Chain A
Amino acid sequence: MTLHPFSSDEEAGWHEGIRRRELIRCSVDLARLAENVQLTEDFASEAPKTLSRVIAVTADLLAQKLESSAPAQDLEQINTLLGIITTHLRYVERARVAQTPWSIVSSAERLFKLTADSKSHFIVRPNWTYNYSIIGEFASAYREFLSCWAWFPLADWKKDIGLGDDESIYCISFPRIERMNCLLHANWGHEVGHILAAKWVSVDFATAWASDESAIKQRIEDHVVKNFPPVDPLFKAMAIQEAVAKQMRATMEAARQGFIELICDRVGVHLLGTSALAATMEFAARFAMDVSPLQSSYYPPWRYRLRMMLKNCAPDLNDNIGIGYPNQEIDAFIHWLKNGQRLTAGTGDLQVIKSNVVTIEPRKIQERQVIPFGERLVLHPGVLVLACTFEYVSIPGDLECQVEGRSSWARLGLQVATATSIEPGFKGVITLELSNVATVPLALMPGIRIAQLLLRKAEPPVDDPYSGNRKYRCPIGPEFSRLHEDYDWNAFAPKKKS
């Protein structure tokens, strides 16, 4: 008997058949496992069961569709998705009461809901590794994954998982072994910050990156081109472009991750004050202080982060001067925290950052934010932003000015300046202290008229205007406060106890 070899179509069909069968079995198993998890009464809250229900429904519908309509071209994607969601079932498993201290779960959940979003579900999961982390958001990610395929019954899926479009699921991990210091759990404040930072990153970071990208690319390209070896003529310029592209991706990741971690540290301090600083210091003590972001998953060096947190905690750390804390233990704690000031007086972190073009650029982005014309800045309630006028003014010696808001904006809650007076002789752009005193966010567009200048005759005219120890000379951008340069600041600030 003569054997006819497979045609290429037949061989492809043979591969597909086996692959499909394997994926169906995998989905059915996963759906069954996830359903079993839901049946157990082994969880301290409903959140783990919610995620396992999402997993079960997803896997079940995938199995059904693999039997009928999922096309061959999508099998590789389905395989990847099954790999991803199988891991998620492990997060649920880890949240069983046998693994989790009961006492922690409900109070932790309450804290997360209060600070992040009351419609979120939080799986609180102990980790064997000594780390705090947050993973999410599951529901919207699953929606995004599954909406890639026209053949997937998304409406059925939405109905079966029983979650509203505004409900979300996160998994927060903490070290199972608490060591000696339960205060470490103040690191949770930072993790909750990730939820807020993710919202920011999805909109504002994209804008910041798009506006700076071409300038960053130019600088990185100059750096790369300098000593590039001869290459294949088919890819002469592209070889350089690939090298630049890799640097750009690393730069973007370092900028994004850097931003996120710094925002989260800030949120941690905002929620839990100096406890967050203490927890971070204790946690960071395990690591080297000056590791480059390129060697640590793009995280900024610990020394850098602690310096920023100390800055944010400054009011709390200084409050004990004069008014005093209620007891000696807290005083000792504050004193211990102040060790951080010596720790962050070192500059190894800044040297590491400056030593590589990939880590210099993110720092430049982090230091300033330019909103281009045609785009907008969303000013949230209770937030103060220093901005500047488009106009560069030069006030003569016989005029004094006042910055006033416009009533149309004031009715929406915008305050443009609280220190409104501009002295005769001032030159420069005017720094505006923008704040939103209403309860809903305000969108501001560069170039739009938000303020007005009132000019008054100065009688008699000033002979030598804006001279002497003036702090803000000829600014071309918004200027931070230089209160510390005032003579009275030094004269009246509380003296350190010897």
Chain B
Amino acid sequence: MEDLGLVAELFRTSSTLARAAASLEKLASGKDEIEPTEKEALSWSGEFLLAVDWSAQQQAKKPVGGGLALQATSVRPTFYSCLFRMAPQLREAGMHDEKELTSFLNNFYRNLLSPGTPGKGYKKLTSDQSKLGASLLHEMAESILVQINNNGLPRPTATLKDEWKPTANDLTPILIR
């Protein structure tokens, strides 16, 4: 069955991430006041990214259950691809190894969960960091839309075949584009 329910879920994810990106840009431009719906989008995005990013998940030590686990599994490759595409911006922001990147991302997720007050051990995002985070959310929102805009149905197979060619019981490693 071409299940429109799954498409609707992806659509909602993309839409919420786009809304969170816009709210983050608003915060980056110096506006401290955000509406409750924007706050909700930011904190949902924080929860979602914590479930998607395995490195952050290990730190959070929080198991991901049910529907969120499925959603995270279907979006996770998109998340990593977005990060790879953003490599020049990340380097420009002063990140040169994975430790720095992971630490930025963790800090970013905590800020999404509670904007402005990320909690003990985490720093409030600078304006540039907020813009960088917003770019990541934008990238993800758009990539998810691309995933579903073929007749409204997801099409992960094409990318799977193009990017990953399994041979007899073995896997040919992919190269970073």
Q: Quick check: A237 and B69 within 8 Å, CB to CB?
A: no
Q: Which residues 232-257 of A have a CB within 8 angstroms of B?
A: 232-239, 241-243, 245-250, 252-253
Please report whether the interface of chain A is mostly helix, strand, loop or mixed according to DSSP. Answer: helix
Q: Is A80 an interface residue (CB 8 A)?
A: yes
Q: Quick check: A206 and B157 within 8 Å, CB to CB?
A: no
Shortest Cβ distance from residue B76 to the other chain A in the assembled complex, whole angstroms = 4
Q: Quick check: A253 and B166 within 8 Å, CB to CB?
A: no
**Which one of A136-144, A283-291, A396-404 is at the interface?**
A136-144
Q: Quick check: A197 and B157 within 8 Å, CB to CB?
A: no
Q: Is A357 an interface residue (CB 8 A)?
A: yes
Q: State in angstroms the CA–CA spacing of A54 and B73 once bound together.
A: 32
Q: State in angstroms the CA–CA spacing of A207 and B96 once bound together.
A: 39
Chain B hits for A145, CB < 8 A? 8, 11-12
**Which one of B83-91, B111-119, B120-128 is at the interface?**
B83-91
Chain B hits for A297, CB < 8 A? 157
In this complex, how many residues of chain B approach chain A with their Cβ under 8 Å: the count is 65
Q: Of B70, B141, B145, B166, which contacts A206 at CB under 8 A?
A: B70
**Which one of A35-43, A81-89, A463-471 is at the interface?**
A81-89
Chain B hits for A140, CB < 8 A? 5, 8
Q: Of A74, A228, A246, which contacts B18 at CB under 8 A?
A: A74
Q: Quick check: A241 and B98 within 8 Å, CB to CB?
A: no
Q: Quick check: B163 and A248 within 8 Å, CB to CB?
A: no
Q: Quick check: B1 and A136 within 8 Å, CB to CB?
A: yes
Chain B hits for A104, CB < 8 A? none
Q: Given the interface contacts A206-B66, A358-B166, does A238 sit within 8 Å of B80 by beta carbon? A: yes
Shortest Cβ distance from residue A294 to the other chain B in the assembled complex, whole angstroms = 7
Q: Which residues 352-374 of A have a CB within 8 angstroms of B?
A: 354-358
Q: In chain B, what residue has the closest Cβ to A202? A: B5
Q: Given the interface contacts A76-B18, A80-B148, A235-B98, does A246 sit within 8 Å of B160 by beta carbon? A: yes
Q: Of B101, B145, B175, which contacts A77 at CB under 8 A?
A: B145
Q: State in angstroms the CA–CA spacing of A141 and B12 once bound together.
A: 10
Shortest Cβ distance from residue A195 to the other chain B in the assembled complex, whole angstroms = 8
Q: Quick check: A148 and B1 within 8 Å, CB to CB?
A: no
Q: Quick check: A73 and B80 within 8 Å, CB to CB?
A: no
Shortest Cβ distance from residue B1 to the other chain A in the assembled complex, whole angstroms = 4
Shortest Cβ distance from residue A190 to the other chain B in the assembled complex, whole angstroms = 10
Please report whether the interface of chain B is mostly helix, strand, loop or mixed according to DSSP. Answer: helix
Shortest Cβ distance from residue B72 to the other chain A in the assembled complex, whole angstroms = 9
Q: State in angstroms the CA–CA spacing of A137 and B4 once bound together.
A: 6
Q: Quick check: A248 and B73 within 8 Å, CB to CB?
A: yes
Q: Quick check: B176 and A80 within 8 Å, CB to CB?
A: no
Chain A hits for B74, CB < 8 A? 249, 252-253
B3, B16, B84: which has the most chain A beta carbons within 10 Å? Answer: B3
Q: Of A135, A234, A355, which contacts B2 at CB under 8 A?
A: A135
Q: State in angstroms the CA–CA spacing of A249 and B64 once bound together.
A: 16
Q: Given the interface contacts A74-B15, A148-B16, A234-B95, does A249 sit within 8 Å of B76 by beta carbon? A: yes
Q: Quick check: A73 and B5 within 8 Å, CB to CB?
A: no
Chain A hits for B21, CB < 8 A? 73
Q: Quick check: A237 and B98 within 8 Å, CB to CB?
A: yes
Chain B hits for A198, CB < 8 A? 1, 3, 5
Shortest Cβ distance from residue A78 to the other chain B in the assembled complex, whole angstroms = 10
Q: Is B81 an interface residue (CB 8 A)?
A: yes
Q: Of B22, B54, B76, B176, which contacts A231 at CB under 8 A?
A: B176
Q: In chain A, what residue has the closest Cβ to B3? A: A198
Q: Is A150 an interface residue (CB 8 A)?
A: yes
Q: Quick check: A245 and B76 within 8 Å, CB to CB?
A: yes
Residues of A at the B interface (CB closer than 8 Å) are: 71, 73-74, 76-77, 80-81, 83-85, 87-88, 133-138, 140-141, 144-145, 147-150, 191, 194-195, 197-198, 201-202, 205-207, 209-210, 213, 223-224, 227-229, 231-239, 241-243, 245-250, 252-253, 260, 294-295, 297-298, 354-358
Q: What are 26 A-B contacts with C-beta separation under 8 Å?
A: A73-B22, A76-B145, A77-B18, A85-B152, A88-B152, A135-B4, A141-B8, A206-B66, A210-B63, A213-B64, A213-B73, A224-B171, A229-B173, A234-B90, A234-B91, A234-B101, A235-B83, A235-B84, A237-B98, A242-B80, A243-B174, A245-B76, A246-B163, A247-B171, A250-B156, A252-B73
**Shortest Cβ-Cβ A-B pairs, 9 listed:** A84-B152, A242-B80, A194-B1, A141-B4, A144-B8, A245-B76, A148-B15, A210-B69, A206-B66
